[in-house]
Structure 1
Amino acid sequence: MVKRLMDMCLGCIAQNLHVISNVGKHLPTLHKEKILQWVVNHNMLTTEYLPHVTYHLFSPALRSISFVDCDQITDKLLIQLDDCKCVLESITIDGCKVTDIGVTALLSHQDELQTLVLENISELTGTGLEVLRSRKLKDVHFSGIQITNESLIALVTRNPTISRLDIGCCGKLTHEVIPAIAVTLANELENLNLQKIRTIENNDLVVLSQHCKNLEGIDLFGCSEITSAGLRALSKECTKLQLLDISFCYSLLQSSSKEFLTELPLSLKTLVLSGLRLDGGDIHTAVSRLPTLETLILCGKNFITEEHAIKIFETVGPQLICLCIRGHRQIITDDILGLIVKNCTSLEKIHLGTHMMLTGESLRVLFRDQERSRNLTQLRLFGCKYLNHDILLDMSKSCVNLTELNMAGVKCVDDTLLFSIANHMPHLKHISLGAFVGLATNQVTDNGVVELTRCCPLESISLSGIHSITDKSIFALANNCPDLKNLFIACCSKVTTQATNYLQDVCNDKLYVYHRLPNADPNLVMAKNLDTGEFCRVDQTKWSMW
């Protein structure tokens, strides 16, 4: 993989706005937006450079902005952006140091806005949202902000066209906002995320079901007060509901009969049951009623016997596209995995993991079936440390359409396997290879990682705990993976900060690097090897004395 010529040109312009005469007058809007994104991603909004950015790139023609994890984004910059009189269709501000002052200024004139994303802004209370009036607003995503009930009610009242509302993890919100949401948005509302709003009650779900007949997805993760009565209302009135997440809704288990299992909406395509203590019989009771179920997510301390597994997967297996089973070791065995492989013939995504004592022998049938293997796009085997090497080799040769592969904690992963993956998976974007629970692994070396970077269009890679990895892998990522967005290399003591800084500089997008060295010497001295170009630890290098 190499950097595209277009990306190289945009990066060059972004770094030379101060020397290219009138460059802003010659750039179309799309390229202005991409160059502005590049400048933000590479933290170039310095005091000296900011005037050139605002002069050349801020214009009334701007339609989309995305400011993510950039401390240089301030209220002053948002005010300057509003001053250019741009009419935005999409706004994303995530992890930036802004307040209600800047957000108010930016949103006050955005009457064409369609998408608004505000996340991880600790000083944002939401008062700035009360000025927004857009006749086209459809998607609203809030998370990690201190928005109040009053501000959210004002937002939905002034923008009744919202169809997707994500307000999960907003700590100050309570269930009192639900009636306003339900009555105001009514049939417009299609997707609602109420994750971790712990005061949500059955009456709130009743109100939603009475007014929001077109609801297609609802996330109730952690809403621990709801019981079967609330689900019964949704099932009866929201006949289009396709996604339901009731993870960690503990009150559902208060009845010994677990009535909620027979109250699930029949229209469901995606069911998430994480964190609920269910046995195989409970799970079979739930899924046997769902004729259109395609995605089943079971994460937590469940117990499934082989007898129950036969009933579950003979009933629902043929229609499943995504199956996620993660939790403690008693949840699944090789025999049960064999039943999954036998019955779930249409799977595109398989997620297994965390302390499962699996050899993976049952997967051999799947990996040797060319048609079924080609259907797989995601395979997560996180923590399945006893998987056999030859079975994973079969996987690497047959699952040629994988875009995501997680083998973190699998003991047998080595360079041979990585070379096979590199040579057979041209679409792989996300891969995890790191050690598990703090245990180091040295079977993977720079050679395997370099081959992956050469052949796969990687966007995310985890190498945490692989102590043999050095700067060579980081420089290979810099040379071959320009679209990399996430790098996890905790405990990789031979990787230097200088190398990761260089990688961040050359990637197209903002690169998140997790590089923690808990036992690193604070006085560690690094030096560059002039023969190889690599940065090395002085205490681990033999220096020739002349």
Structure 2
Amino acid sequence: MEYLKLSKLKGLEGSEGFQRVGSKSVKQLVLTGCSGLRDKGLIDIIKRCTSVCELDLSENHKLTDESIINVSQTLGGNLREISCNELSNLTNASTMALATYCHCVVKANFEGCVKLDGSGLIQMAENCLLEELNISFCYKLQPLTVDTLVSTLNAKGPLKSIDLMAISFGDFTVEFISSCHSLSHLFTAGVSMNDNDFDTLCRSLGSTLKQLDISGCPLLTDSSCTSIAQQLQKIEFIGMRNMKDISGSSLMELFQNQSRADNIKYVAFSGSKDIDVQVIESIARNCHNIETLLLAGLKGITDDVAFLLSDNCPQLTHCSLRNCSLTDIGVSRLAVHCKKLVMLALAGIHQLTDLSIHALANNCPYLDEIHLSGCALITKQALAFLSDTVICSLWINHNVPNAPPGLLMAKDLDTGKYQRVDN
């Protein structure tokens, strides 16, 4: 057994649950979302899994420095990847331990570790082989520390991925990032970066950058879209959620270039209410390999967009159309042609009925997450039918305080259509 995963086991607390769990053959260990897990329980399993190379401890909120120090001492040079996402109790003692004992770490995730001030991270940058680092939402990091960290990472070796969401940039952060000529992944959502700085990044990283997220950057304008379209020749992933006063029109140059459009796998515009619908139509018409498209709250998204997606985007797996102007016709067409759908968000589309749900049930067997809050005309009976037909366990979000009492729909055997029968 080389892979072991224990996830979202809320009742798991101490060492009792781990008495017989673990093996020296385990290489990849995933312990995520076990909200009751404490240091002793983790330490016990690590004692039996001494060959772990990849360790994910995300969202175990009760773990402290004691766990990470013990992990560092036990796994030592075996450890190559560690994720401590949302472990808010961790301090510099944890990162210092990793820097001391785990010199082979190439990938580290400390997103949401709000007590880290950066001294241990700089030691990791100096002592480890870090190629991928996530320090998003580490609010204690000072701008000068961020400058030192990025420059140290770049000087040590090829930095391939860095997440700096909601981090305060220093005077030279953009310059140091621009010199990371192997960088393929850059997330800077929520950063106060202006158009000139962003254009500098795009010009420097244009030949390598594949994944970019600038969601919620308050100083960026439509000029940022021009930089993306003209400079980022290998872009596959574009995150531009909650952007104010941005139409995205200059992105048409990217999406209408078929060879570049074929590379696009992910686009997120949710909350960017001024995005031109023609940009969305261009994505739906030309990005044949797109897998994730998030368009919640956008103006002008109608059945016409759904028709284009159904005709041109067979690889679509995750789609958010919350509060868009779709009908059963558009959703049904999408279901028939996009059979790989895994997540679909349709919350706030009040005119949808059970017709949409039955189309999904008959055509999308891999669906495991659907959002339908506010869809008051969709019945519990239809959702039960959908749950019974899909392969995976389906997570349904369907809060309908506006639902008519006694709502029930059934199939008319003469017409084949679903109609209200509760009147």
The interval holding the TM-score normalised by the smaller chain is over 0.9
**2:420 corresponds to:** 536
Residue 323 of structure 1 aligns to a residue whose secondary structure is strand
Distance 1:537 1:311 in 2: 62
Q: State the superposition RMSD in angstroms.
A: 2.1
Return closer, same or farther for 1:185/1:518 CA change in 2, 3 Å cut-off: same
Residue 262 of structure 1 aligns to a residue whose secondary structure is helix
Distance 1:391 1:123 in 2: 47
Residue 189 of structure 2 aligns to a residue whose secondary structure is strand
Correspondence 1:374-385 to 2 at 5 A: 374-385=262-273
Alignment partner of 2:108 out of 218, 221, 233: 218
**1:438 corresponds to:** none
Describe the superposition over 1:126-146 as per-residue Cα deviations: whole angstroms up to 9, x where unpaired. Answer: 422133341311222122322
Describe the superposition over 1:324-355 as per-residue Cα deviations: whole angstroms up to 9, x where unpaired. Answer: 11115x24211111012111110111111114
Describe the superposition over 1:431-458 as per-residue Cα deviations: whole angstroms up to 9, x where unpaired. Answer: 11112xxxxx4x3111111111111122
**1:460 corresponds to:** 343
Residue 493 of structure 1 aligns to a residue whose secondary structure is coil
What is the CA distance between 1:373 and its match in structure 2?
Answer: 0.4
The 8 Å contact of residues 264 and 286 in structure 1, kept in 2 or not, is answered as no
> 1:511 aligned to 2:394?
yes
What is the CA distance between 1:363 and its match in structure 2?
Answer: 0.8
Alignment partner of 2:328 out of 446, 450, 470: 446
Describe the superposition over 1:94-128 as per-residue Cα deviations: whole angstroms up to 9, x where unpaired. Answer: xxxxxxxxxxxxxxxxxxx3222222222111422
Describe the superposition over 1:32-73 as per-residue Cα deviations: whole angstroms up to 9, x where unpaired. Answer: xxxxxxxxxxxxxxxxxxxxxxxxxxxxxxxxxxxxxxxxxx
Residue 327 of structure 1 aligns to a residue whose secondary structure is coil
**2:163 corresponds to:** 272
The 8 Å contact of residues 61 and 89 in structure 2, kept in 1 or not, is answered as no
> 1:233 aligned to 2:123?
yes
Structure 1 residue ranges (4+ consecutive) displaced by more than 4 angstroms after TM superposition: 254-258
**1:118 corresponds to:** 6
Distance 1:133 1:365 in 2: 53
Distance 1:124 1:217 in 2: 27
- Which residue identity lines up with residue 266 of structure 2 in the other structure? Q
Give unmatched runs, 5+ long, in structure 1. 1-112, 436-440, 540-546
**1:208 corresponds to:** 98
What is the CA distance between 1:538 and its match in structure 2?
Answer: 4.1
What is the CA distance between 1:286 and its match in structure 2?
Answer: 3.9
- Which residue identity lines up with residue 274 of structure 2 in the other structure? Y
Residue 19 of structure 2 aligns to a residue whose secondary structure is helix
Distance 1:519 1:286 in 2: 53
**1:27 corresponds to:** none
- Which residue identity lines up with residue 447 of structure 1 in the other structure? I
Residue 230 of structure 2 aligns to a residue whose secondary structure is helix
**2:357 corresponds to:** 474
Distance 2:277 2:151 in 1: 42
- Which residue identity lines up with residue 118 of structure 1 in the other structure? L
What is the CA distance between 1:535 and its match in structure 2?
Answer: 5.2
> 1:137 aligned to 2:26?
yes
Describe the superposition over 1:237-264 as per-residue Cα deviations: whole angstroms up to 9, x where unpaired. Answer: 112x222111121221175885434333
Distance 2:409 2:296 in 1: 31
**2:88 corresponds to:** 198
The 8 Å contact of residues 227 and 260 in structure 1, kept in 2 or not, is answered as no
What is the CA distance between 1:323 and its match in structure 2?
Answer: 0.5
Alignment partner of 2:403 out of 520, 531, 545: 520
- Which residue identity lines up with residue 374 of structure 1 in the other structure? D
Residue 85 of structure 2 aligns to a residue whose secondary structure is coil
Correspondence 1:280-429 to 2 at 5 A: 283-300=173-190, 302-327=191-216, 330-429=218-317
Return closer, same or farther for 1:325/1:376 CA change in 2, 3 Å cut-off: same
Distance 1:289 1:226 in 2: 25
Residue 269 of structure 2 aligns to a residue whose secondary structure is strand
**1:162 corresponds to:** 52
What is the CA distance between 1:317 and its match in structure 2?
Answer: 2.7
Q: How high is the TM-score relative to the length of structure 1?
A: 0.72
Correspondence 1:247-258 to 2 at 5 A: 247-253=136-142, 255=144, 258=147
Return closer, same or farther for 1:133/1:446 CA change in 2, 3 Å cut-off: closer
Identity %: 27
Give unmatched runs, 5+ long, in structure 2. none
Return closer, same or farther for 1:305/1:518 CA change in 2, 3 Å cut-off: same
Distance 2:18 2:419 in 1: 48
Residue 250 of structure 1 aligns to a residue whose secondary structure is coil
Return closer, same or farther for 1:527/1:393 CA change in 2, 3 Å cut-off: closer
**1:19 corresponds to:** none
Distance 1:287 1:486 in 2: 37
- Which residue identity lines up with residue 183 of structure 1 in the other structure? Q
The 8 Å contact of residues 262 and 289 in structure 2, kept in 1 or not, is answered as yes
Return closer, same or farther for 1:256/1:401 CA change in 2, 3 Å cut-off: closer
- Which residue identity lines up with residue 420 of structure 2 in the other structure? C
Q: How high is the TM-score relative to the length of structure 2?
A: 0.92
Distance 2:287 2:146 in 1: 42
